Structure 1
Amino acid sequence: MNDIWSTIRGMAWSLTHRLGIIDVIDILIVAVIIYELLLLTRHTRGSALLKGLFLLFLIVLLSNILGLTSLNWLLLAVLQNGAIVLVVLFQPELRKALERMGRSRLITKGSHRNADEDTEVIIEEIVQTVVDLSRRRVGALLVFERKTGLQDVVETGTMLNSEISAPLLENIFEPNTPLHDGAVVIRDDRVMAAACILPLAEASGVIRGLGTRHRAAVGITENTDAAVIVVSEQTGIVSFAADGMLKRPFTVEDIKAFLHEFYTSRASGIGSILRRLKKRFTEEKTA
């Protein structure tokens, strides 16, 4: 036991006394790579594989600290000779990563918009959709996925995985079209699926006089942290559901405020943090 604590103290001392600027940069680069891998495999089967790989690394580290020589040798042999196995297991994710790199703005010509501009375009598209549907009294359910995954809800509908645009969303909810009945699930900047089935809330938890669409909006927010924008087919009034509660009417200003909060909270990573700091510095400088 004393040897274990000595090893841990030695590692802690090395981290606090021998850590230089190059080491910090090295750690940050590895952290960004791991973060991008987690984003890439999120909502896929590769997520479980990546968690298993991380657990395997932890077991190797613990076996080395505890002096379990045989187990440590066996696991190291698996890791050292498992590169080809990993390529096979993560083939879909690796292909997706390479495609994403190929579409990068650093390589693709003619694209100069930054992430903030992309977010503003998405927000305008959603706001335009809600306003137009409300004006024409076309019923709609827009479900925004937050931290709680909604893959089980997505699988009840028709998979789209399309970019967000007002024409697409309005066409989905147009009466007498194949996908108009049900909810649309939005994950980040993608329309994941349409015609999704949502669980209904208890009638006592919804304002009297409201129909199935509003009960479904409240129902999905009772068990998840999702947020829902609802357009009434009868009145055209826009409502907002979150945390099992329903707010109505939900004005255009309310919609924009929610969407800004939603996409700001979804944005993370070093790049987005630097962009927000730069934006704040610019605002303070011009004030």
Structure 2
Amino acid sequence: MDAISDFFRHIFSWLAVPSLDNLRISNFIEIFIIAFVLYQLFKWIKNTRAWTLFKGIIVVIAFAVIAYVLDLTTILWIFTNTFNVIVIAIFVLFQPELRSALEQLGRKRIMSSIFNPSASSDRMSKETEKCHEEIIKAVFDMAKVKTGALIVLERQVLLNEYERTGITLDAQVSSQLLINIFEHNTPLHDGAVFIRNNRIVAATCYLPLSENAKLSKALGTRHRAGVGISEISDCITIIVSEETGFVSVARDGVLHSHLSVNELRRELQEEKNTPQSGGKFRKLKGILKNEKKADQ
């Protein structure tokens, strides 16, 4: 019980504003390091199943604070005696996610990205260009034989809720792999492929259909799904028609059809160079739209 009280007293003591005369350079360094670590932690939590766990932890902490303020001694005693078990359970249940996060941290060149950001940017630009060329090759190879395809390139707005409807992958983008995924009568050919950070993250995903009445009635489900996902996010969607073999791109709810190789390359080049702004507004618009549909 005393440990819980000391814990909350220590937390509340942080609210006291320190004197500016006591601030040193080391304090600013500590603030920067802590802010960076917290940012990476929250970013990881947001993109994994740990987000649901994190919201549950917030509820438990809020409940514990209320119990402390109201001096509910029995609840505080239960919280004190189960806290260690809960922490151990968290590490056991989320061991795969924690291992994946540590592996990603080990692969990152943190110091080079901080002290030489241009080199990191150049490397990412080259990887993106190579990824785009592989996509273009796969798209037009499939267009020649009229193999339907639906490819979603994520940008600022994450689409985890739609990725979870499919099968999770973690593969380098290659034309051969994309063609094999969309090949007829294969387990992954139906649905959309999601590409994030130049990697295929999921396949056979289901997308929301557009309700835009101005779209041609001749368009099938694949095109309406491509337009639908572009309406609620800042992604760019590539569609290959199974009936005609035509290549189309959907962006911001607008469908550009009958694209050539150079036109698709130009679309992807613009996607790479365009400032990624307005994503949060489109995300909010999509959330409100989905909630409205659910209420109906």
**TM-score, length-normalised on structure 1?**
0.66
Structure 1 gap segments, 5+ residues each: 1-6, 107-111, 267-287
- Asked whether 1:41 is paired with 2:53, we answer no
On the 8 A contact 1:206/1:218 being kept in 2, the answer is no
Q: Distance in 1 between matches of 2:93 and 2:222?
A: 41
User: Equivalent residue for 1:162?
Assistant: 171
Q: Pick from 20, 28, 34 the counterpart of residue 30 of structure 1.
A: 34
On the 8 A contact 2:131/2:173 being kept in 1, the answer is yes
Q: How far did residue 68 of structure 1 move?
A: 4.5
On the 8 A contact 1:133/1:170 being kept in 2, the answer is yes
- Asked whether 1:123 is paired with 2:132, we answer yes
Q: Distance in 2 between matches of 1:126 and 1:50?
A: 36
On the 8 A contact 2:156/2:276 being kept in 1, the answer is no
Give the AA of the match of 2:162.
Answer: V
Instruction: Please identify, of 210-219 and 120-129, the stretch whose mean Cα deviation from structure 2 is larger.
Output: 120-129
Q: Distance in 1 between matches of 2:184 and 2:83?
A: 58
Structure 2 vs 1, CA of residues 222 and 185 (structure 1 numbering), >3 Å: closer, same or farther?
same
User: Equivalent residue for 2:283?
Assistant: none
Q: Distance in 2 between matches of 1:147 and 1:120?
A: 18
Structure 2 vs 1, CA of residues 203 and 155 (structure 1 numbering), >3 Å: closer, same or farther?
same
Structure 2 vs 1, CA of residues 228 and 86 (structure 1 numbering), >3 Å: closer, same or farther?
same
Matches within 5 A, 1:66-81: 68=69
Q: Pick from 17, 20, 23 the counterpart of residue 24 of structure 2.
A: 20
Q: How far did residue 236 of structure 1 move?
A: 3.3
What CA RMSD, in Å, does the superposition of the two structures yield over aligned residues?
Answer: 4.0
On the 8 A contact 1:127/1:256 being kept in 2, the answer is no
Q: Distance in 2 between matches of 1:194 and 1:222?
A: 20
Q: Pick from 195, 203, 212 the counterpart of residue 194 of structure 1.
A: 203
- Asked whether 1:256 is paired with 2:265, we answer no
User: Equivalent residue for 1:96?
Assistant: 100
Q: Pick from 246, 251, 268 the counterpart of residue 242 of structure 1.
A: 251
Q: How far did residue 141 of structure 1 move?
A: 0.7
On the 8 A contact 2:136/2:265 being kept in 1, the answer is no
Structure 2 vs 1, CA of residues 78 and 98 (structure 1 numbering), >3 Å: closer, same or farther?
farther
**TM-score, length-normalised on structure 2?**
0.65
On the 8 A contact 1:40/1:93 being kept in 2, the answer is no
Structure 2 vs 1, CA of residues 158 and 259 (structure 1 numbering), >3 Å: closer, same or farther?
same
Give the AA of the match of 1:232.
Answer: S
Structure 2 vs 1, CA of residues 47 and 202 (structure 1 numbering), >3 Å: closer, same or farther?
closer
Q: How far did residue 46 of structure 1 move?
A: 1.0
Q: How far did residue 142 of structure 1 move?
A: 0.6
On the 8 A contact 2:152/2:192 being kept in 1, the answer is yes
User: How many pairs does the alignment contain?
Assistant: 248
Give the AA of the match of 1:150.
Answer: L
Matches within 5 A, 1:53-68: 53=57, 68=69
Structure 2 gap segments, 5+ residues each: 1-12, 111-119, 278-296
Q: How far did residue 208 of structure 1 move?
A: 4.3
Q: Distance in 2 between matches of 1:78 and 1:189?
A: 46
Structure 2 vs 1, CA of residues 189 and 18 (structure 1 numbering), >3 Å: closer, same or farther?
farther
What SS is found at the alignment partner of 1:205? coil
What SS is found at the alignment partner of 1:207? coil
Instruction: Please identify, of 46-55 and 92-101, the stretch whose mean Cα deviation from structure 2 is larger.
Output: 46-55
Q: How far did residue 261 of structure 1 move?
A: 4.1
Q: Distance in 1 between matches of 2:201 and 2:227?
A: 20
Q: Distance in 2 between matches of 1:84 and 1:176?
A: 45
User: Equivalent residue for 1:212?
Assistant: 221
Q: Distance in 1 between matches of 2:108 and 2:15?
A: 43
Give the AA of the match of 2:272.
Answer: H
The percent identity for this pair of structures is 40
Q: Distance in 1 between matches of 2:195 and 2:272?
A: 15
Structure 2 vs 1, CA of residues 194 and 221 (structure 1 numbering), >3 Å: closer, same or farther?
same
Structure 2 vs 1, CA of residues 164 and 79 (structure 1 numbering), >3 Å: closer, same or farther?
farther
Structure 2 vs 1, CA of residues 249 and 43 (structure 1 numbering), >3 Å: closer, same or farther?
same
On the 8 A contact 1:41/1:93 being kept in 2, the answer is no
